[in-house]
Amino acid sequence: TAVSAAALALSMSAGTAMAACDDGEIVIKFSHVTNTDKHPKGIAASLFEQRVNDEMNGKVCVEVFPNSTLYNDDQVLEALLQGDVQMAAPSLSKFEQFTKKFRIFDLPFMFANMDAVDAFQNSDTGQAMKESMVRRGLLGLDFWHNGLKQFSANKPLEMPSDAAGLKFRVQTSDVLVAQMEALGASPQPMAFSEVYGALQTGVVDGQENTWSNIYGKKFFEVQDGTTETNHGIIDYLVVTSVDFWDSLPDDVRTELATIMKEVTETRNAEAFAVNEAAKAAVIAEGGVVRQLTAEQRAAWVAAMKPVWEQFESDVGAENIAAAQEINA
């Protein structure tokens, strides 16, 4: 049956994972959904794996499972709580079941650029968010950057009215559902691994994502074009379970946290460049990229920004004000 085939595939990949680790090492399975070499998250996860396996050899062994080979984002937090994996880095949009605080990151046009996101995350408010799910069993270690989101569709998108009536894949986030409804579009929450097929077969007409995701999963090949709207962000929280983290010997926990912090600083500084390279690659491979005039952009802002009001009580008016202060 399909179920036993899937179970077999899972146990085979788990078997491969274990083969790379030595007896007696603490094993950290790190599950994520992107590629490993052309993506801000994928590169960061691989660097963490490499550094831990070099520097903590004999004590800890990290095994990265990329490209949704182990879990989709809608399963991975439960898998963390079950102890089936020990680390993951879902986008901040994927934590709805655990906290509503992260909704601020999904509000359209909340952050002017990734420097503003970085500053907000490094503020006391941002740092406290890493521990906002502890009573639900999840601990955030560090924020990892991806970048600004763009819209693509099976027809040119110049004005917000061009999106009206179209079906757009969104991540599983109520804010993103509301954002698409504000455009008169029909939001379709769906796992990342299913988006290419859904665009190709016409199950959805369009999507929103960063350049590294649009390039990494080849969405541009099955879209009319991508419009550089920079209307929102995709960023991540590296998470572990409180149970796993507390079970570690103190010295191991400290060393892992130090490596994680260094990897975060190194790779967050490169995230913008990785996305720019992906955008250039989209263009080089024949993808159409459209720019907005100032008036067109203002129309997108006017159509989408009213969504803030709907979520103000979840994210806190004071946090919205703090984010706007950083933008200024």
Where along the sequence are the contacts to ligand LMR (CB under 6 A)? Answer: 33-34, 41, 91, 146, 171, 192, 209, 213, 234
The answer to whether 327 and 305 are in contact (CB under 8 A) is no
Tell me the helix, strand and coil percentages in the chain, rounded to 5: 55, 20, 30
Min. distance of Cβ 44 from ligand LMR in angstroms? Answer: 12
CB atoms within 10 A of CB 266: 13
Q: Of 157 and 278, which CB lies nearer to ligand LMR in the complex structure? A: 278
Q: Whole-number minimum distance, CB 26 to ligand LMR, in Å?
A: 25
Position 245, amino acid:
W
Rounded to a whole number of angstroms, the minimum distance from the CB of residue 316 to ligand LMR is 24
The answer to whether the beta carbons of residues 5 and 47 sit under 8 Å apart is no
- In the bound state with ligand LMR, the residue whose beta carbon lies nearer, of 68 and 227, is 68
In the complex with ligand LMR, the residue whose CB is nearer, 32 or 51, is 32
Of 150 and 213, CB closest to ligand LMR: 213
Alpha carbons 52 and 18: distance in angstroms, whole number: 16
**Residue with Cβ nearer ligand LMR (273 or 321):** 273
H or E element in which residue 25 lies: none
The whole-angstrom separation of Cα 23 and Cα 185 is 53
Q: How many CB atoms lie within 10 A of CB 14?
A: 16
Q: How far is the CB of 4 from ligand LMR (least distance, A)?
A: 28
User: Residue 95 corresponds to which tokens in the numbers above?
Assistant: 């934590």
d(CA 194, CA 133): 28
31/171 with CB nearer ligand LMR: 171
Shortest distance, CB of residue 296 to ligand LMR, whole angstroms? 24
Minimum Å gap between C-beta 233 and ligand LMR is 11
